[in-house]
């Protein structure tokens, strides 16, 4: 690989108040090889590649091996010194302002996370403690704005979708923007970018300045899914479970576009929560949508939900095919109900405190072969528990497909074995095969898909 | 043609100060059939069709025959009552904010223009008087902002160009936006839209709020070239000559993209001005650019200029092929010189007072057969006068191609005859044929092009 | 008199858009001795003395005989070059920002006024024409803000009052400010300053940024009553009648504090208008107020109104003694009715179009001895006509007391004779004597008051 | 004492982001009698009395015995329910916005302080730890703004001074405001209010919006010195030493006006720090100023410093008598040096990290009879240590005069005995007698001063 052009530069935050204490600067800068520093370096590199189309963290890290970032405290606050930074992040020698902003958001979140844990401030043993932790991270990032009516629409779906599907997400975003709604995604390409891009145009038409394009990510994924340049608020949550909780507590409604196993995981995570008896009356607008060509995909998902979690689960969402304006109207209507509900219950608009999330959804699932084999998959379970376990199964498959640790485990021990009730296992197998057939289980390199799991009945 | 969906609505300006006196409201509203009312109705209809892809004023006017607009003065200022307005201008029953803004800009400009003339305030007999008039119109529209450094880049070119060329204009706009430059165009589709769209993304990446997308139009063209929805400042000048003068006095640099005869007219208008001896030392960055595929187009134009106006004329512009970043860098550099020059001469940043425009360029040219036949086209003339006459020739051809009056004259009397020096006439003929061959002389309906002129040597 | 310290300086407008055309700059600058230039120079000098306690235009003009101001058009708009300007307007060599702002407001208004008249744009022969003229001046000064609910409270009263009365006006202003109301005065010292000062503190406590302190003045009075430094919007109307009309059309309610004959003139002007049959149902909150010590003053005024204009006139105002909070509450309540009324009639919030002002109130009254002697003062007249004539009588006395032309006429021909119905004349005489006794008819120099009029019964 | 009018109300923060987590709300609200609740209630009561002239915490607390405040988390953030609140804090039933703002500032600081300590996040054993704590409190209060040049001027002096002195502080504030400098004080009446009031007018004249009037207080003093209503940023530090450290780290220069023993304590605190060898080259503009009538006061202080700490200490400040403009100019010049110095050393503008503060100045001094008697007061000590001990002596006298604990100790054990070097003791005695003579040692009740100390030579 030929060397890429790089630039050395020194940048300061602009307009934001990223003021660090000397202790905090020291924490970051002293340990050139420390884990906090490594984390920040990696996120910084991903951000500096914003807009570049590289689907692979390792590629980026390799391409800029000698990239370095140093942190200084100085007269006007913090300054970052960048050595051998990707040249694409600069225009005529000056860093693009949005990139600079995200760089300091990353600094903020990583320092904050480290401090919180350092000080043993956080109680990660209880559900309440984890929720408080997520709340504090979001508050520190100024994501929570109390005076604002519910209008954050989370968009989930694949980061690698067809052109037709991508265009469709832009159209939906455009309709959301025309209704002055904000967009929150996982902040990479594909479904994470299209709705934001569409909303930008919609907001511009409505002369709606201050539209929010909120990107929630985590250090493990940011390199592979670099924030797209439209994201104007970036928050880095420490892991996938905190990130998912942030999505459902900060978002007021969710739209699910076509995606792969990861999207299915998110869908089941959400269904599992909404099926919890405590959440029975809580309004949460949820729309599955895509262009005409994606209707098979949604039918399969819908059938799978019906067969596994039942009709009650199906009632928690609406499938709308090929009708962006209708999606936006449905969402706008749902948000009104959310507002009404929270007002009646005196819940915050900016954080969904009333949503009950079982600790099982908050704790990281470690997809070892043993854990995967031990998952209970039976319709005897209460639906929300079955949903939780199905979510874990999908999570394991994602890990086995693309995450470093998972891939190595598969190489060593062969495919995961997933056991369960025969009828349920057949349904699962069908769904996963359909994903493969629809090219929704692409591997980073683009090779033909080799399943990392084996469905075992009983 | 099937009836289009319409809406009745009542709208007020928001955040703008469109305060009318009772006399002004009366002027507008009393004469349901008066010419001022008709003008406003027509502009309003064009604006309500913003974004719609209709290339023909008559089509729009026919489609909404029963559209009406009434003006009321009320507690919170002015209110417009719209009857049978195009439904596309509304989202869930509410008018899109940008559309509303443009509607009131049109009202402002048309009322102001009418008042100025009414009061005999304007002296249209002298060059200075015309310039003052243009200045007053722009000032009234709040286009002139004294505290701002030169950064308005005017983009000229065809409204109907190839997809490749359109994408190229977006890329150039993107690079302009990344350098925080503003874009000013004729406010329709094609080259009038692409650079604005690109700049929007560039500005967003630079977190540059308050980017200006200035659209200058005239009542005669607005219906055919409805303002694209990105335009966030719309000014309606009374005729083509005032509009051209507004472009060159308010813009700090100009980029010319591929276009047809209209673009050639604009190019010659500008060259004619810049060739004037008084403007010899005045910096005015001028770039001709397009994708690789358009290089032939620019070579022909360049050769034509060389053969007719000479090398000195060629030195006033730079041709850059297929290099958007270079275009933006060149422009940014040129703007610095403009700033330096104006500072030294104590000229306003916001209005190019020092630019000498001969009254011949300010007075409307009426393209009758007689006038066309009488144009002096000879290299014996001083270059800036020859440029003026060539500009008139192109202007006549545009009229003969698409303007109502011109088309009717051609139908009645046959093609225009253009006389002139044989060598020059051959060059002109070649250029026009090249335009036809490159499909740059498309007629609205899309029929094969039937020339409206005949080049006659001598 | 010892020479005062002066400074030479060059200033540009900041943040305002005072963009002039070359013709406008020329108009101002060419005629070093022209009347427009003289007018501007005089206003500029008054503004540069803002805050200085000099009660006499002539003193200021004499003290800065060699003061000059030159106008240049330059890169960043207009620039003023000041020679031998009062040093008090500067801090460490830089002009105080508020002073600079007012300087450019004066420039704006004087240029605009001159242009309007120059272009014969204005029809000063009809009532409607005069009102339109006032409207255009205010609109050009950006005083008219359509999106704002009625909250401009005009405060009238003496510019030279007792300390106790001054403190009282501050308290009333404080209560107005606490209710987020804006204050408009004649922009000099005394009652013109106290309410603004109090409102500043009230607004600060309410964190109400953008409070308006509107000063309306005229060239003939600005030197004697230099705008106090709290005024943050200054408008210079061409003469007293335009200024009075501006007060009653732009203000939503009026508070009258103690004052002298000038205040009585304003009070009768307003009553004359409100008594017009066309204004019978039009709500216009009007409060007369002062500290306990001023209660005699108001009782006399009240009795005078009762005896001359009758009970109906008395019903148009409310006297509140020594109760600032009650004044503000009463005003706030009255403004609600104004809002309701204008909404129902679809009248503008920002300009009281519906208020009928007879042309007699709009035309300047020239207080010659002949005119004064010819005033019809009889209870046989309709009350609004009698009010108009009483207003003229007071206007003449003000002129005879302090205006150059009036003072000279008195010197030459002796006191004015005012004829009228005996009972009415007695009332008038009593009132005027009371003013003298209460030291409300002080002359600039502080000498004992020598009446400039003689009341003649019959 | 007759009952005072009270109001029940429910208020929400406006525009600020006081978002609390459920745990934080719980902490506050659960313990109706807990210490955090008591602290907040007491501060809230002081704030609701803003502007009231009561010099005694106990009086306020007694007057509103049945005042209660309850905290709720709700849709739009936090809501406070107030029962039997002082009616003066409301206008027509609505709480004054500035009061509301301060109420939520108090909530923010008290919750934050409690959390930090709760979580053992703070290391109060080291100098660095204490400094970090102060930094975090100020950062959380958004007091630290990195992009801003040094311009915070701290004003110290008595809260109960003569009218002449009070007017002088307003004039100095006016001159500071005219130079766009910000004012920081201890946020009560007297010297804590005058400069802010003057600066308000200066800022208004300069059209300087966003002037900062920073009040730093502590729970122990806020009831006696309720924030004056001009304070637009209120921070409550946990104790006197943190508050003093906040003053010298956040302020860029300090002006000392006349005051009593408390002011002398502050002066010696600052001198002690500036005399530390590490701070030798650090610029810190320090001006002592007052009207002509206060010149004796400053001469005595100056002589005392000369006799005890020596000439080097005298060189750290400048005495300017009766010249407000000169004070402001001197300060403005000093701030330029501060800026230059911090830029060269890369120190933050917003926090004086480089200032060395010995831990002795950071730790609370408990003024028992034993500690007071044990103070080493000898010129044999290095000047900065002697300054520290003199500071403690003054601190004890303040406590013996007005603080509850100190007053009780004096009642029980008689006056403090202060031992030391004879010459030094005489100087101290003279200074304290001068304070008494000048009525600068007034007791709250206004009784004749009965010394709480006895100076014992040797």
Give residue-wise pLDDT tens across range C256-287.
999 988 899 999 999 999 999 999 999 999 99
Contact yes or no for C291/C281 (Cβ under 8 A): no
* CB–CB contact D208 C329 (8 Å): no
Q: Do chains A and B touch (3 or more CB pairs under 8 A)?
A: yes
pLDDT of residue D140: 85
Q: Which chain D residue lies closest to A115 (C-alpha atoms)?
A: D121
Q: Give the minimum alpha-carbon distance from B434 to chain C in angstroms, rounded to a whole number.
A: 43
Q: pLDDT for D392-417, tens place per residue? A: 999 898 888 877 788 889 889 999 99
Rounded Cα distance between A243 and A249, Å, is 10
pLDDT at position D17 over 50: no
- More confidently predicted of D23 and A244: A244
- Strands A90-91 and A94-95 turn out to be antiparallel
pLDDT at position A208 over 80: yes
Q: Which chain A residue lies closest to D148 (C-alpha atoms)?
A: A76
pLDDT at position B255 over 70: yes
Q: pLDDT for A34-64, tens place per residue? A: 778 888 898 999 899 875 554 455 666 778 8
B332: which chain A residues are within 8 Å (Cβ-Cβ)?
Answer: 92
pLDDT of residue D121: 59
* CB–CB contact C204 D230 (8 Å): yes
Rounded Cα distance between A72 and A50, Å, is 24
Q: pLDDT for C92-127, tens place per residue? A: 999 999 999 999 999 888 877 877 666 556 678 889
Q: Do chains A and C touch (3 or more CB pairs under 8 A)?
A: no
- More confidently predicted of C3 and C163: C163
Q: How confident is the model at residue C223 (pLDDT cuts 50, 70, 90)?
A: confident
pLDDT of residue A138: 94
DSSP letter assigned to residue D69: E
- More confidently predicted of D134 and C440: D134
State which H helix or E strand residue B71 sits in.
strand B68-74
- State how far Cα C404 lies from the chain centre: 18
Return left, alpha or beta for D276; rule: phi > 0 is left, psi -120 to 50 is alpha, else beta: beta
pLDDT of residue B120: 56
Rounded Cα distance between D403 and D416, Å, is 14
| A233-236 sheet: strands from edge to edge | A233-236, A213-217, A182-185, A152-156, A253-256, A286-290, A318-321
Q: pLDDT for C335-345, tens place per residue? A: 999 999 998 88
pLDDT at position C229 over 90: no
CB atoms within 10 A of CB C434: 17
Rounded Cα distance between D30 and C377, Å, is 77
Class of domain A147-458: alpha beta
pLDDT of residue A51: 58
Q: State mean pLDDT over C362-381.
A: 92
| Residue to substitute from C13, C14, C75, interface B, most B β-carbons within 10 A | C75
Q: How confident is the model at residue B17 (pLDDT cuts 50, 70, 90)?
A: very low
CB atoms within 10 A of CB D32: 10
Q: State mean pLDDT over A67-77.
A: 76
Q: How confident is the model at residue D445 (pLDDT cuts 50, 70, 90)?
A: low
pLDDT at position D171 over 70: yes
pLDDT at position D255 over 90: yes
Q: Please state, in angstroms and as integers, the Cα–Cα distance from residue C23 to each residue in B28, B87, B249, C73, C133, following that order.
A: 29, 46, 16, 11, 22
Which distant-in-sequence residues (6+ apart) come within 8 Å of C334 by Cβ?
Answer: C253, C283, C284, C285
* CATH code for the part of the protein at D6-118: 3.30.1850.10
* CATH code for the part of the protein at C122-458: 3.40.50.450
C201: which chain D residues are within 8 Å (Cβ-Cβ)?
Answer: 200, 229-230
Q: Please state, in angstroms and as integers, the Cα–Cα distance from residue A334 to each residue in A331, B214, D158, following that order.
A: 5, 38, 59
| Residue whose pair of structure tokens reads 């504030």 in the numeric block | D173
* CATH code for the part of the protein at C6-121: 3.30.1850.10
Helix, strand and coil in chain C, % to nearest 5: 50, 15, 35
- More confidently predicted of B14 and D317: D317
pLDDT at position A121 over 90: no
pLDDT, chain D, mean? 87
* CB–CB contact D23 A132 (8 Å): yes
Q: Give the minimum alpha-carbon distance from A97 to chain B in angstroms, rounded to a whole number.
A: 4
Q: pLDDT for C42-62, tens place per residue? A: 899 989 987 555 445 566 677
Cα Rg, chain D, nearest whole Å: 22
Contact yes or no for B44/B71 (Cβ under 8 A): no
D97-118 helix and D22-30 helix, angle to the nearest 10 degrees: 100
Q: Please state, in angstroms and as integers, the Cα–Cα distance from residue C323 to each residue in A128, B123, C295, C302, D366, following that order.
A: 55, 58, 12, 18, 50
**CATH 3.40.50.450 describes domain D146-357:** yes
B95: which chain A residues are within 8 Å (Cβ-Cβ)?
Answer: none
**What 3 state SS string does chain A have?**
CCCCCEEEEEECCCCCCCCCCHHHHHHHHHCCCCHHHHHHHHHHHHHHCCCCCCCCHHHHHHHCCCCEEEEEEECCEEEEEEEEEEHHHEECCEECHHHHHHHHHHHHHHHHHHHHHHCCCCCCCCHHHHHHHHHHHHHHCCCCCCCCCCCEEEEECCCCCCHHHHHHHHHHHHHHHHCCCEEEECCCCHHHCHHHHHHHHHHHHCCCCCCCEEEEECHHHHCCCCCCCCCCEEEECCCHHHHHHHHHHHCCEEEECCCCHHHHHHHHHHHHHHCCHHHCCCCCCEEEEECHHHHHHHHHHHHHHHHHCCHHHHCCCEEEECCHHHHHHHHHHHHHHHHHHHHHHCCCCCCCCCCCCCHHHHCCCCCCHHHHHHCCCCCCCCHHHHHHHHHHHHHHHHHHHHCHHHHHHHHHHCCEEEEECHHHHHHHHHHHHHHHHCCCCCCCCCCCCCCCEEEEEC
Q: Which chain B residue lies closest to C139 (C-alpha atoms)?
A: B19
B92: which chain A residues are within 8 Å (Cβ-Cβ)?
Answer: 179, 329, 332
Rounded Cα distance between C289 and C319, Å, is 6
Class of domain B146-458: alpha beta
A6-112 is classed in which CATH architecture? Answer: 2-Layer Sandwich (3.30)
DSSP secondary structure of B144-191: --TTS-S-EEEEE--SS--HHHHHHHHHHHHHHHHTT-EEEE-SSSGG
ipTM of predicted complex:
0.86
pLDDT at position C294 over 70: yes
Smallest Cβ–Cβ distance between B204 and the set A178, A230, A332 belongs to A230
Which distant-in-sequence residues (6+ apart) come within 8 Å of A352 by Cβ?
Answer: A248, A249, A250, A252
Rounded Cα distance between A13 and A71, Å, is 12
Nearest alpha carbon to residue D211 among D172, D158, D153? D153
pLDDT of residue B74: 66
* CB–CB contact D205 C232 (8 Å): no
Rounded Cα distance between C240 and C217, Å, is 8
pLDDT, chain A, mean? 87
Q: Which chain A residue lies closest to B326 (C-alpha atoms)?
A: A92
Q: Which chain A residue lies closest to B197 (C-alpha atoms)?
A: A201
Rounded Cα distance between C300 and C434, Å, is 8
CB atoms within 10 A of CB A320: 21
Residues of chain C with pLDDT > 70: what percent?
90
* CB–CB contact C204 D97 (8 Å): no
pLDDT of residue A146: 78
pLDDT of residue A55: 47
Q: pLDDT for B94-147, tens place per residue? A: 999 999 999 999 988 887 787 766 655 667 888 988 998 999 899 888 899 877
Q: What residues of chain C have any CB closer than 8 angstroms to a CB in chain B?
A: 13-15, 17-19, 21-23, 72-78, 119-121, 128, 132, 135-136, 139, 142, 144-147, 339, 342-343, 346-351, 353
Q: Give the minimum alpha-carbon distance from B137 to chain A in angstroms, rounded to a whole number.
A: 24
Partners of chain C (3+ Cβ pairs below 8 A): B, D
Q: pLDDT for B294-344, tens place per residue? A: 999 999 999 999 999 999 999 999 999 999 999 999 999 999 999 999 988
- More confidently predicted of A77 and D12: D12
Which distant-in-sequence residues (6+ apart) come within 8 Å of C128 by Cβ?
Answer: B22, B23
Q: Which chain D residue lies closest to C197 (C-alpha atoms)?
A: D201
Longest dimension (CA), chain B: 67
Its sign, for the CA torsion A233, A174, A55, A418, is positive
pLDDT of residue D442: 63
pLDDT of residue B378: 92
Rounded Cα distance between A288 and A322, Å, is 11
DSSP letter assigned to residue C379: T
Least confident of A27-31, A265-269, B25-29: A27-31
pLDDT at position A33 over 70: no
DSSP secondary structure of D183-250: EEE-SSSGGGTHHHHHHHHHHHHTT-TT--EEEEE-HHHHTTSPPPTT--EEEE-SSHHHHHHHHHHH
Residues of chain D with pLDDT > 90: what percent?
52
DSSP secondary structure of B76-112: TEEEEEEEEEEGGGEETTEE-HHHHHHHHHHHHHHHH
Q: Do chains D and B touch (3 or more CB pairs under 8 A)?
A: no
* CB–CB contact B229 A91 (8 Å): no
pLDDT of residue C17: 45
CA dihedral C185, C190, C191, C195 (to 10 degrees): 80
Q: pLDDT for A417-435, tens place per residue? A: 999 899 998 998 899 888 8
pLDDT at position D272 over 80: yes
pLDDT of residue A217: 94
pLDDT at position C207 over 60: yes
Contact yes or no for B157/B264 (Cβ under 8 A): no
pLDDT of residue C1: 47
Q: pLDDT for A381-406, tens place per residue? A: 999 999 999 999 998 988 888 777 88
CA dihedral C8, C14, C17, C19 (to 10 degrees): 30
State which H helix or E strand residue B117 sits in.
helix B97-118
Q: Which chain B residue lies closest to A205 (C-alpha atoms)?
A: B98
CB atoms within 10 A of CB C329: 16
Domain boundary assignment for chain B: 6-121, 146-458
The pTM score is: 0.85
Contact yes or no for B182/B153 (Cβ under 8 A): yes
| Residue whose pair of structure tokens reads 């702002």 in the numeric block | C101
Residues of chain A with pLDDT > 90: what percent?
52
pLDDT at position D70 over 80: yes
Q: What residues of chain D have any CB closer than 8 angstroms to a CB in chain C?
A: 91-92, 96-99, 101, 178-179, 200-201, 204-209, 229-230, 232, 329, 332
Contact yes or no for B113/B137 (Cβ under 8 A): yes
Q: pLDDT for C120-161, tens place per residue? A: 566 788 898 899 899 989 988 889 987 789 999 999 998 888
Q: How confident is the model at residue B263 (pLDDT cuts 50, 70, 90)?
A: very high
Half-sphere exposure at residue A448, Cβ-oriented, CA atoms within 13 angstroms: 1
pLDDT of residue A1: 47
pLDDT of residue A456: 83
- Strands D90-91 and D94-95 turn out to be antiparallel
Q: State mean pLDDT over D260-287.
A: 94
């Amino acid at each position: 690989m030929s060397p890429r052009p790089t630039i050395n530069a020194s940048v300061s935050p602009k307009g934001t108040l990223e003021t660090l204490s000397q202790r905090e600067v020291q924490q970051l800068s002293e340990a050139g090889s420390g884990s906090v520093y490594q984390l920040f370096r990696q996120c910084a590199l991903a951000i500096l590649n914003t807009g570049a189309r590289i689907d692979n963290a390792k590629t980026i890290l390799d391409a800029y091996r000698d990239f370095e970032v140093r942190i200084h405290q100085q007269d006007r606050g913090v300054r970052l010194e960048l050595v051998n930074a990707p040249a694409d992040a600069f225009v005529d020698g000056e860093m693009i302002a949005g990139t600079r902003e995200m760089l300091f958001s990353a600094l903020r979140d990583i320092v904050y996370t480290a401090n919180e844990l350092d000080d043993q401030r956080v109680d990660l043993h209880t559900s309440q403690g984890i929720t408080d932790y997520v709340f504090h991270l979001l508050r520190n990032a100024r994501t929570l704005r109390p005076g604002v009516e519910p209008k954050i629409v989370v968009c989930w779906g694949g980061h690698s979708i067809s052109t037709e599907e991508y265009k469709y997400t832009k159209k939906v975003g455009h309709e959301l923007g025309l209704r002055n709604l904000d967009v929150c995604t996982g902040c990479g390409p594909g479904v994470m970018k299209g709705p934001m891009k569409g909303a930008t145009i919609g907001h511009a038409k409505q002369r709606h300045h201050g539209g929010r394009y909120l990107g929630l990510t985590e250090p493990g994924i940011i390199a592979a899914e670099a924030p797209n340049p439209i994201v104007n608020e970036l928050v880095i949550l420490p892991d996938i479970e905190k990130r998912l909780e942030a999505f459902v507590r900060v978002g007021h409604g969710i739209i699910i576009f076509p995606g792969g196993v990861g999207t299915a995981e998110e869908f089941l995570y959400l269904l599992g929560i909404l099926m919890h008896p405590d959440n029975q009356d809580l309004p949460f607008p949820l729309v599955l949508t895509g262009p005409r060509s994606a209707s098979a995909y949604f039918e399969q998902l819908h059938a799978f939900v019906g067969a596994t979690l039942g009709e009650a689960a199906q009632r928690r969402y609406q499938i709308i095919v090929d009708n962006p304006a209708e999606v936006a109207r449905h969402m706008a209507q749902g948000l009104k109900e959310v507002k009404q509900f929270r007002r009646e219950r005196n819940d915050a608009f900016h954080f969904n405190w009333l949503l009950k999330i079982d600790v099982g959804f908050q704790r990281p699932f470690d997809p070892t072969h043993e854990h995967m084999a031990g998952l209970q998959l039976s319709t005897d379970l209460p639906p929300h528990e079955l949903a939780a376990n199905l979510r874990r199964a999908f999570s394991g498959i994602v890990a086995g497909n693309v995450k470093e640790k998972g891939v190595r485990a598969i190489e060593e021990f062969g495919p995961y074995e997933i056991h369960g009730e025969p009828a349920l296992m057949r349904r699962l197998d069908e769904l996963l095969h359909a994903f493969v057939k629809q090219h929704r289980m692409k591997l980073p390199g683009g090779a033909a898909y080799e399943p990392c799991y084996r469905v075992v009945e009983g």
